[in-house]
Structure 1
Amino acid sequence: MRILLLCHSFNSLTQRLFVELEGQGHSVSVELDVADSVCEEAVALFRPNLVLAPFLKRRIPASVWRAVACFIVHPGPPGDRGPSALDWAVLESRPQWGVTVLQANDDFDAGPVWAHASFPMREASKGSLYRAEVTQAAVTACLQAIERFEHGRTAGAAEPEPELRCADGDGDGDGDGDGWRPLLPQSARRIDWARDSTARVLARLRSADGQPGVRDEMFGLDCHLFDGHPATPAALAAVPAAPPGSVLARREGALLRRTVDGGVWIGQARNPLACGDGPAFKMPAAMAFAAQSAELPLLDVPLDRDAQEWGEIRYRELGPAGARVGCLSFDFYNGAMSTDQCRRLLAALQAVRRRDTQVLLLLGGRDFFSNGIHLNCIEAAAHRPDDSAADESWRNIQAMDDVALELITLTDRLTVAALRGNAGAGGAFLALAADEVWAHQGVILNPHYKNMGNLYGSEYWTYLLPRRLGAAGAAALMQQRLPVSAVAAQRSGLIDRCFDTGALAFEIEATTHALALAAAHNLAERVARKRHARDTDEARRPLAAYREQELSRMHRNFYGFDPSYHVARYHFVHKLPHAWTPRHLAVHREAAAGSAERA
């Protein structure tokens, strides 16, 4: 079928549906929801059999849904209605939630239900749930709805199957109304530090993660808070007693704040004063309150520690002597890696290098393996005296390169990058610095840089990528600018293994396979071949030459006359609305432009 994806932005869910639908042989094009007239024009150009809307912030115009069947992906069970479905579910600690695919009509979120899928809720932020459970449920429900549509249903179809109907309208069978929930206001998210328990504080922070954050005060200043993690008794015992709401310490960019029965680490904040005269944007909490937090005690933690003790980088070892696996995770917020985070990860790799292990398993983060340089921290540098976004970009890419170099030159053991979550830009190429790359079937890769203002890219991609795809394949991949599924990535040779499993089971399977790799009879032979290949490659062309060539191009991106990168970064950080759909997504517009040129 011809399926038009209509969306507010090409987010993680939309990308996953894009690759899944293309993988099933559908012809897919994308239109960003800029205006009703633009949507109408996209339908006229593409002539879709179906419009699928995974992520919208406005209603589809009647002129469109009356002309073609339009399926809305709602992040709630059948009967749930409203713009803050997942926010309310996280805030209220619902044990079960779901995704519904319904047909657009005159009523908001109330059209005929075509399919739905449910999942158990875990204690996690809204964003983490959205990228994992919600996305997987949406894929399941969308594919089911599309299959039903293909088998004879038309726009304005009859009532959904009996098993999809709701007894009371909100899908939970408790007869409590029609399921409409309004936009979740800040008044419902407000934290009362003098009374709220740690669990209650975390529920508020998690329900508002990503956007809009929880409006609050820190150090007497208005701000928005994000990214909450529970503090352990050990962390609280390391600082003096203080009243609830007090900010006690800092760790890896986060700030520790007391609650009535414990404490929470606040990872991210939006503080208008940190941005000078410009609009406020999210950044690490300790950076957002740099002057106020500078004197707070620094609570560092060892790499190998109790699982409950929060920190961004963690290490553990598994297996017997002589067949040991070191597992290194680096769970950076949204997968972005600032200069400081890269330097801490490099130090961790250097420490791990001294351990007697046979395989190093790089686990990245739960939601993202890595997404490359930290654009928000780079933007923050533009608001600091005697600094600039260009200078911080340069420091950040150099630090990323140092991490990649450490992995490439780790030749006394095997290294495996296990992608628990998506990887993009420099983060995708950081994974390729390992000997093998494994992923599960839900992972999406964006192994290119051009979408960020035509960045050239570094992380030794000019060395790493042709080794896997050849020169022509590498050039084609870097030009196409589209997401790649893990299944397609394995098929092309970009990654080595795609496990037929979900995100929750993948880490266990990856660890099991890494242990088998460490105990393999030919391990020493494989390591010897790896070392020989690296020596041969270095003699042919040193890694320093690849880095110099890549960075010369990046220097032009950062400091040259073309401001495309700085403009794209500013738009990304400040979440400015799109004015048009890029042509690599809107293939219907590319085709129309080509026809016009031929005419």
Structure 2
Amino acid sequence: MTQRVLILASANNGLTQRAALAVRRSGRTARISIVHCESDIRRAVESADFDIVVCPYLTTKIPADIYRRWTCVILHPGPVGDRGPHSLDWAISEREPLWGVTALTAAEEMDAGPIWSTRTFGLPWRRKSAVYNTVVADAAIECLVEALDKADRAVSPTPQAETPQPIVHARRRPAMRRRDREVRWSDDTATILSLIHASDGSPGAPATIAGLPMLVYDAHHGRDDALAPPGTLLGRRDDGIEIACGDGSIWVGRLRSSGGADPSCKGPAAQALAMAGFPVQALPVDERKSHEIRYRREGEIGFLTIDFYNGAMGSGQCRRLLAAFAYAAAQDTKVVVLENDGAYFANGIDLSAVELSDGPEGEAWRNLLAINNVCRAILTCSTQVTIAAVTGSAGAGGVMLALTADLVVAADRVVFNPHYQTIGLSGSEFHTYTLPRRVGGDTAQRLLHDCQAIDAVGAADLGLVDAVAPSAQFGSWLTELARESAHPSRWAAIMAAKQSRLSDLNAIERAELRRMARDIFRDENEFRRKRQAFVLRDLRHPSTAGL
């Protein structure tokens, strides 16, 4: 009999989607129920149409009568022996070199139940949202499938006292409080970055910037010399600002005002400060390139690497990416690879920057035109074979950006959300040309209207991507693919195919823009409400308890 799995989660985030897809990929059935309180959990189990409950991301405690009746597997983002609601936050803030994920049975004491499976891994020193959606999620999926296999074979979990503890200092920890996360600019940069990384993307690290109470996200190392008193704003670059610390500086990419009565969304740092009343334009401009877009060359192959916060591509990022792609396409290489560095490939326009702008509708339109320009440049590139190498999840316009390349490949951890309707848009990025070209008209319409996530293997089955490779070996596999594509005969065949399939992009874009104009300016599909609900979602789910 097929094992039936009920997934209880506090949000339908990337890990929840990966969990459901992995369960179904293993031959089981899966039903997702989003729950926010005990009553929600009780309603979710009323039908009893399941054999086992799994909780990849749950901030609400399961009632005792429910976990005593059904096996409930919790995915905890910590190694054996670690307990508490903010495990990953503590590990990142304390710069743990090795960490883990454990699948355990729900019990009265949090994270104290018998253990089904566990994994350990090197913990990169990066922002929590990036760590969570890569190495942590990878380990969690492995633990989940192993736990389900054991339960299906009636293998009992092992009591914690009898389970080896690979990280000997793992222990019970309290919730991380606001004062534990608070940034003191007089501290050294490593300490400050650790706090900000640990609090990103939720709830943010509290700090005072230019006398304003802010929550800080998306921080990167700046200079090594202390150039001004700690807390001094040194300059701006693109959307980021540079702040002096005790022994140097850091760059901050995202901020959220925490001083007002009304909730505010996080957004580009310079924009958030300007909205709070600080004269950002008075800061000196730093002309050095940011970390968001990088280019390197390996023989006949150019690699254009993007790292946009949560995959959001604002108008400025799109303009800079367009310029970077034009530079890459002008080199005497054979292949340009567009790849991501981090947990996201791209998710389309930057809804937070749109929401924080003086005129959201106008900014959404400008952002849309800017991302279209990038897509057009890739589609019409006549000098290079283009490869989109997707190693992080992609949604909406980010999926369609990838589809403009000649070849689209993905790592096996990737989740695609090739649709727009959940945000109230009909879509652009030439998707009415690229999506049917790959999957056929009927499947394209189904993907756009069903609004379902698909995993990388499923995307390959549909023809959405050309190939899938294991995440752990993806870099070397991609390099070999790029070299094969640069071989004269293969290169000529791809370039000839590209020329034969080009359509009237101007007509395609005009048709898409007509529909998008109604979405944005007439609000025919509730873009305004859905956008605001999306950008304020962190305020509704501030906890990182569980995964």
Q: Residues 99 and 167 of structure 2 are in contact (CA less than 8 Å); yes or no, is this contact kept in structure 1?
A: no
Could you tell me whether the CA contact under 8 Å between 2:227 and 2:248 is conserved in 1?
no
Q: Which amino acid aligns with 2:348?
A: G
What's 2:296 paired with? 316
| 1:469 has 2:439 as partner | yes
8 Å contact kept, 1:301–1:311:
no
User: C-alpha displacement at 1:46, in angstroms?
Assistant: 5.0
CA distance in 1, matches of 2:420, 2:70: 35
In the alignment, the residues of structure 2 paired with residue 67 and residue 280 of structure 1 have an alpha-carbon distance, to the nearest angstrom, of 42
Say if 2:100 and 2:139, in contact at 8 Å, map to a contact too: yes
Is the aligned partner of 1:181 residue 2:173? yes
1: CA distance, partners of 2:480 / 2:243:
38
Map Cα deviations across residues 419-440 of structure 1 (whole Å, 9 max, x no partner): 1211111000100000010111
Matches within 5 A, 1:18-97: 18-97=20-99
Matching residue of 1:597: none
Cα distance in 1, alignment partners of residues 193 and 261 from structure 2? 31
**Percent sequence identity over aligned pairs:** 36
Distance verdict in 2 for CA 1:485–1:553, change over 3 Å:
same
1:308-457 → structure 2 map (5 Å cutoff):
310-319=290-299, 324-381=300-357, 384=358, 387=359, 389-453=360-424, 455-457=425-427
1:521 is paired with a residue whose SS is helix
Task: Give how far 1:272 is off.
Answer: 4.6
Q: What is the CA distance between 1:277 and its match in structure 2?
A: 6.8
Q: Distance in 1 between matches of 2:115 and 2:490?
A: 55
Kept in 1: contact 2:240–2:251 (CA 8 A): yes
Match of 2:516 in 1: 554
Aligned length, in residue pairs: 535
More RCO (CA 8 Å, sep 6+): 2
- The answer to whether the 8 A contact 2:114-2:160 is kept is no
CA–CA distance in structure 2, aligned partners of residues 159 and 359 of structure 1: 52
Are residue 300 (structure 1) and residue 287 (structure 2) matched? yes
CA distance in 2 between counterparts of 1:501 and 1:4 reads 27
Name the SS of the counterpart of 1:105 in structure 2: coil
Q: CA deviation at 1:561?
A: 5.2
Contact 2:80 2:160 in 1 (8 A): no
Amino acid at match of 1:75: P
| 1:11-37 deviations in Å (ceiling 9; x for gaps) | 111111111111111111110013323
Across the aligned residues of Structure 1 and Structure 2, the Cα RMSD in angstroms comes to 2.0
Alpha-carbon distance in structure 2 between the residues aligned to 1:550 and 1:365:
30
Quote the Cα distance in structure 2 between the aligned partners of 1:252 and 1:500.
Answer: 35
Q: CA deviation at 1:48?
A: 0.9
**What secondary structure does 1:215 align onto?**
strand
Aligned to 2:545: none
Task: Please state if 1:209 is matched with 2:200.
Answer: yes
Q: For 2:292, give the aligned amino acid.
A: E
Are the equivalent residues in 2 in contact too, given 1:219–1:292 (CA < 8 A)? no
Structure 2 distance, partners of 1:250, 1:311, is 14
- For residue 589 of structure 1, what is the aligned residue in structure 2? none
CA distance in 2, matches of 1:480, 1:56: 25
TM-score when normalising by structure 1: 0.86
Q: Residue 272 of structure 2 is aligned with which of 288, 291, 297?
A: 288
The answer to whether the 8 Å contact 1:77/1:118 transfers is yes
Q: Distance in 1 between matches of 2:52 and 2:128?
A: 29
The letter of the residue matching 1:405 is R
Encode CA deviations 1:402-435: one digit per residue, 9 max, x unaligned.
1111111112221000012111110001000000
Match of 1:262 among 248, 268, 286: 248
Distance 1:46 1:451, change over 3 A: farther
Cα displacement (A) at 1:397: 1.2
Cα displacement (A) at 1:64: 2.1
User: Map of 1:528-567 to 2, 5 A cutoff?
Assistant: 528-534=496-502, 538=503, 542-560=504-522, 562=524, 564-567=526-529
Structure 1: gaps spanning 5 or more residues? 303-309, 579-599
SS in 1 for 2:103: strand
Q: In structure 1, what is the Cα distance between the partners aligned to 2:490 and 2:32?
A: 48
Q: What one-letter code is carried by the residue in structure 1 that aligns with 2:414?
A: V
**CA distance 1:187–1:37, change in 2 (3 Å):** closer
Alpha-carbon spacing, 1:412–1:568, altered in 2? closer, same or farther (3 Å): same
Query: Tell me, what secondary structure is at the counterpart of 2:421?
Result: coil
